[in-house]
Structure 1
Amino acid sequence: MTQIFKLGALAAAAMIACAPATAAPQAAAPSKQAAANPQAAKALNVLADEYYDALARFDPVSSSESGDNRFIDQIGMSISPTERAKQFARYKAFQKRLRAIKRDGLNTRDQTSYDILDYELTTALRFEPFPEHLLPINQMDSLPVTLANYASGQGAQPLTTVKDYRAYASRLAQLGPWVDQAVANMREGIKRGIVHPKPVMTSALPQFKQLVAASTEASIYYTPVKNFPASFSDADKRALTKLYGDAVGGKLNPALARLATFLEKEYLPATRTSSGWNALPNGADWYLVRVASQTTTNLKPEEIHQIGLKEVARIQGEFGRIGPKMGYTGPAAGLPGWVAQQAKFKPFKTEQEVIEVYRKLDAQLRTKLPVMFNLKPKAPLDLRLEPELSRATASDHYTPPAVDGTRPGVFWSVVNDPRQYGSTGMVTLYLHEGAPGHHFHIALVQELGLPNFRRFGGNNAFTEGWALYAETLGKEMGLFDKPEDYFGHLNDEMLRAARLVVDTGLHTKGWSREQAIKYFSETLGYSEAESRAQIERYMVWPGQALGYKIGSLKIVELRRRAESALGAKFDIRKFHDIVLGEGTLPLSLLEAKVDRWIAASK
């Protein structure tokens, strides 16, 4: 998954965008097609820029995750009921203005922008009846943990200049009031029966206890003071030391202590025993909105459930063929469990040994990808280990580059215990999170000269669907020649297929947490702990895990359609140009675009 595409304050389909770090976003390069109605085009461009700016101001932390450093000293208060109401009012005003623009007066590219903007606003407004702000934290996603991970200076919060230091301190000073608002929201949630399941908050509690420091100097948020750049003057160091002391010791640490106490003494006793979103007030309808936003389709949960079961059966058939090549002779469904027990597939002793394998794979891919891609991002891709604080609950993920070049795209590898780190899935994981997966999509989109809301926005189905499709290219590039590497690919595909089953099972079919964990362990060969971490993710991010397989299946379907229609004329590089060349699209718009290309290519 990618950090930028984790669920935001509203879980709207429109993802927070970003802009150049040193200035407000500039208008995209003019379209090569002349507009039939220049006034309509101008109105659309103005509206799109205002929409983007409203998103970035509403959730500046998500914005800076994407590289927009204009609001790097702000955290926003998107969980405030008042701010939330104002944002929905903005969406309604934007939608009214959009509908007043004559779509027929726009050129093809602007019509696509119109359609995406219409889709995003419609989707965002569908969330208005559902009080997501009453669930502001969980074990996967919380602002205090996000800001704590910034303290190292390796993440989306730069810490190289005095100005950078002051910006982070400003955010820390604002985090205390945010925490108090979160506690107020959760108390309201308790009154209204809108609370998380007990197991996920039991998992989350140690994170928040760990954030409470015995002293100011012991706080993780105070880390920058211990790592001043040598270029800072003594006067700057004294001023910043006092600034951080006041922000952390005087405001933030007491607020975090209140939060930890509230979670343990008030919230945990009030959490629910049910596992699915349909147990919440209006939860069934709430889940439908989430499913639609995360898949960009009208598929119903039961349809998705059946797709998942069909894919699980297909992949188990592949297990039956690959198992004997690995020395396994049992039933196909037992292959993942057998692999998990084989010491030869856990060869590592240190974290650095894990990273070195990824670095060698990256070098190998640099020689193979030009055969399959014309479009490649200019931004570099770096490989890093996940910070220690978040390793226990994090998944391997990608964060995009900063548009001003100050931060590369980063593949973050989560290594809790290198001796238990399996080698079979490393190739497919890097294809997904690195190249040609998230990096070739997200970093490239920043460089295509699109309007800012498209340049830095997105949707889950395309983003994760592309990355899962990118995994399948490993077979064509000869990266799955070893049976264990091909198994790793199949097992990751099985993960995405099984997600369709358990996510819909949990939130529409009354599956218990334990039932879902058992299904995962039996289907994927995961340990109980691994299965539990996955299932608890789906319990707090309902629908998010559906986008991967639904998006990938659509891209595969479109490729097969193009191959069938074009025969010898089909060029894989041109197909990838079409899929990636205009940024992130809802799946219906992607399908229409590919169909137009097929017709023109004939």
Structure 2
Amino acid sequence: MKKTGAALAAACMLLAASALASAPARADDGAAFKALYTEEWQWRMGQRLEDDEDDVNGIRPDLPRIDAATQQARLAYWQRVLARLDAMSPATLPPAQRIDYAVYRAQIAALIENQRFREYEKPLNSDSAFWSNIAGEADKSFRTDAEYAAYVRQLNDMPRYFAEATANMRAGLARGFTPPRVTLQGRDKSVAAVAEETALEKLAYYRPFKDMPSAIPAARQAELRAAALRALRESVVPAHQRLLAFLRTEYLPNAAEALAAERLPDGKAYYQSKITEYTTTTLSAEQIHQTGLAEMAKIRAEMLEVIKQVGFQGGLPEFLQFLRSDPRFYARTPEELLMRAAYIAKRFDGKVANYFGYLPRSRFAITPVAPEIAPYYTSGRGGPGVYMVNTYNLPARPLYSLPALTLHESAPGHAFQMPIALEQKGRPAFRNAYISAYGEGWALYTERLGVEMGIYETPYEIFGMLSYQAWRASRLVVDTGVHAKGWTREQAQAYLRENTALSEHEVATEIDRYISWPGQALSYYLGQMAIMEARKKAETALGAKFDIRAFHDTVLNLGSVPLPVLHARIDAFIAEGGKSPYPKED
């Protein structure tokens, strides 16, 4: 009998916790588990769903197959993998593999649910889309002739890939499985920017060919540039032109009007599957909604204390209007915003030794969000090697929120946490997959940590942090309100507007993101709550032995894991006396 999303979630979370239980380890069980995930991972790479170890820098000569038959074959394959996993006893695995098992089983379960609900028929939302994800390939580091040649082949594969994506979207459209129409307004512009461009050298896809390594002979560089321009002219631009026609004449006019995920086909189970995927919990929509309301009340009380501290005469609505309208809180140029972000990042560097023992080897750049996506993009985004700051519409980018944003997206948030996870040796490749509840929970936790670290220099910056906390807590209310309680777009916007200092532009773009991306917004605050609960438990149990650096090192060393696994690891951290996972140097 096929499990529902909720039942599968319950089984997954139970195993995530039980996988860490003590039991005699059996070498044959560990070998069988390793053989299973190694086989599946190699198959996954062969499907072009992950970067192949043989593809330097992940520059592939082709794009994945995404047609319906291939997608159904993947579902059947992962179901067989899950059956083999469930035939194992995780408690008999070696200790490190028990964590691997919990992470891997949750990962396979989420992949199955995405295939079962045919998520591939909805490969876009208000925040991102399959065509923009493909465009990001041009930002990779190109060094060799082979890499450039592979990329040219990839460009020539685009018509096939776009045709399969279009067929999937058409199937989703036929059964009413699309993002809500209102959240897709204007999202065709990024396609049009390619489809209507006549100067091919201006396209982002051509960027790697503008400044090629001197190790490639000049004559060969000329050949590769000519091949790239031919691929752009004969494959890339026509593929975008066909996609643009489909979007404008068929998809966008007929996309679903209803906002709620629960109104999609098999909607209640679908939304619960998204809750499970993004929060790694078995919480219901109602439980999350009530948690959000309770947390919002706490944060509002903190906001009122700051208003009193600065001596403002008026309540929260008046203070929010003051923050949104006073020019002192806004940069006058994009460069000013970028430089302020850099200053905040360097302030963290001066505090880091007191809060972290292990530091990542990699560094990150601070760059503006690309102009073609900036109008619909978040205020910032970070990851390995980069912290992108949105310099579009400067009156929507308050400086008092920039410290919280910078901590979240750069260090010690995403541009710090992700590299540390990648630097851990000896882990299976599937452990590098990103789990939103952990990753976003950590990044949000660092915003609060900034108070302890002394990053916030004014009460207004403290309020900016609280506004960001309210922003994430309000997502628990808004996401469940829209997708399970029938809230309107206007109702959701009003809630965000009345409870945070976000600009009107950010209110609009964020709400459309939550509407078109069910469940993802829930991961942030629930993840932060899990880390804060784990820290409080460790502080209480360890007393004077508690070392904040050892705690942070333990959380980050663990890498991206389901929240039950995090809790179990901190229980072990307490039992071990609060020691760091890294050996002390003599």
- Are positions 1:239 and 2:223 aligned together? yes
Specify the SS of the correspondent of 1:424: helix
Q: Which residue of 2 aligns with 1:90?
A: 77
1:435-474 pair list within 5 angstroms: 435-474=411-450
Q: Which residue of 2 aligns with 1:478?
A: 454
CA deviation after TM superposition for structure 1 residue 42, in Å: 2.3
Specify the SS of the correspondent of 2:104: helix
Aligned-partner residue type, residue 342 of structure 2: R
CA 1:71–1:363: 2 relative to 1, 3 Å: closer
**Aligned equivalent of 1:540, options 512, 516, 519:** 516
- Are positions 1:289 and 2:276 aligned together? no
CA deviation after TM superposition for structure 1 residue 419, in Å: 5.5
Tell me which moved more, 467-476 or 565-574. Answer: 565-574
Aligned-partner residue type, residue 305 of structure 1: H
Q: Distance in 1 between matches of 2:209 and 2:359?
A: 39
Cα contact 1:503–1:542 (8 A) shared by 2: yes
1:110-509 pair list within 5 angstroms: 110-151=97-138, 155=139, 157-215=140-198, 217=200, 219-229=203-213, 232-346=216-330, 348-398=331-381, 400-401=383-384, 409-418=385-394, 420-509=396-485
CA 1:391–1:160: 2 relative to 1, 3 Å: farther
Cα contact 1:88–1:125 (8 A) shared by 2: yes
Q: Which residue of 1 aligns with 2:40?
A: 51
Specify the SS of the correspondent of 2:367: strand
Aligned-partner residue type, residue 120 of structure 1: Q
Q: Distance in 2 between matches of 1:544 and 1:74?
A: 31
**Aligned equivalent of 1:556, options 529, 532, 539:** 532
What's the TM-score, normalizing by structure 1? 0.86
CA 1:475–1:175: 2 relative to 1, 3 Å: same
CA 1:56–1:550: 2 relative to 1, 3 Å: farther
CA deviation after TM superposition for structure 1 residue 399, in Å: 5.1
Q: For 1:154-206, what per-residue CA distance to the aligned partner results, in whole angstroms no more than 9, with x for missing partners?
A: x3x22343333223222221121111112212222222122221222223122
Specify the SS of the correspondent of 2:387: strand
Q: Distance in 2 between matches of 1:432 and 1:53?
A: 33
Cα contact 2:63–2:154 (8 A) shared by 1: no
CA deviation after TM superposition for structure 1 residue 380, in Å: 1.7
CA 1:233–1:327: 2 relative to 1, 3 Å: farther
CA deviation after TM superposition for structure 1 residue 150, in Å: 4.2
Q: Distance in 1 between matches of 2:356 and 2:276?
A: 31
Q: For 1:194-230, what per-residue CA distance to the aligned partner results, in whole angstroms no more than 9, with x for missing partners?
A: 2221222223122221221343625443344444455
Tell me which moved more, 309-318 or 379-388. Answer: 379-388
Tell me which moved more, 392-401 or 508-517. Answer: 392-401
Tell me which moved more, 365-374 or 86-95. Answer: 86-95
Q: Distance in 1 between matches of 2:253 and 2:394?
A: 36
Cα contact 1:373–1:577 (8 A) shared by 2: yes
Q: Distance in 1 between matches of 2:107 and 2:253?
A: 37
Cα contact 1:381–1:434 (8 A) shared by 2: yes
Q: Distance in 1 between matches of 2:477 and 2:464?
A: 20
Specify the SS of the correspondent of 1:127: helix
Specify the SS of the correspondent of 1:411: strand
CA deviation after TM superposition for structure 1 residue 350, in Å: 2.4
Aligned-partner residue type, residue 271 of structure 1: A
CA 1:104–1:507: 2 relative to 1, 3 Å: closer
User: Structure 1: where are the runs of 5+ without partners?
Assistant: 1-13, 15-32, 402-408
CA deviation after TM superposition for structure 1 residue 305, in Å: 0.7
Specify the SS of the correspondent of 2:123: coil
CA 1:285–1:327: 2 relative to 1, 3 Å: same
Aligned-partner residue type, residue 133 of structure 1: Y
CA 1:196–1:106: 2 relative to 1, 3 Å: closer
Specify the SS of the correspondent of 1:383: strand
Aligned-partner residue type, residue 95 of structure 2: T
CA 1:438–1:511: 2 relative to 1, 3 Å: same
Q: Which residue of 1 aligns with 2:486?
A: 510
Specify the SS of the correspondent of 1:497: helix
CA 1:92–1:594: 2 relative to 1, 3 Å: same
1:578-589 pair list within 5 angstroms: 578-589=554-565
CA 1:204–1:67: 2 relative to 1, 3 Å: farther
Q: Which residue of 2 aligns with 1:598?
A: 574
Q: Which residue of 2 aligns with 1:405?
A: none
Cα contact 1:58–1:87 (8 A) shared by 2: no
Aligned-partner residue type, residue 362 of structure 1: A
CA deviation after TM superposition for structure 1 residue 474, in Å: 0.7
- Are positions 1:41 and 2:30 aligned together? yes
Q: Distance in 2 between matches of 1:244 and 1:577?
A: 45
Q: Distance in 2 between matches of 1:527 and 1:575?
A: 36
**Aligned equivalent of 1:519, options 475, 495, 499:** 495
CA 1:231–1:440: 2 relative to 1, 3 Å: closer
CA 1:420–1:134: 2 relative to 1, 3 Å: closer
Cα contact 1:48–1:453 (8 A) shared by 2: no
Cα contact 1:216–1:248 (8 A) shared by 2: no
CA deviation after TM superposition for structure 1 residue 450, in Å: 4.0
CA deviation after TM superposition for structure 1 residue 377, in Å: 1.3
CA deviation after TM superposition for structure 1 residue 560, in Å: 1.2
Q: Distance in 1 between matches of 2:532 and 2:307?
A: 25
Specify the SS of the correspondent of 1:573: helix
Aligned-partner residue type, residue 393 of structure 2: D
**Aligned equivalent of 1:108, options 95, 120, 137:** 95
CA 1:231–1:597: 2 relative to 1, 3 Å: closer
Q: Distance in 2 between matches of 1:99 and 1:320?
A: 51
Share of identical aligned residues, percent? Answer: 30
Cα contact 1:216–1:249 (8 A) shared by 2: no
Specify the SS of the correspondent of 1:574: helix
CA deviation after TM superposition for structure 1 residue 250, in Å: 0.9
CA RMSD in angstroms, aligned pairs only = 2.6
User: Structure 2: where are the runs of 5+ without partners?
Assistant: 1-11, 13-21, 579-586
Aligned-partner residue type, residue 513 of structure 1: R
Aligned residues: 557
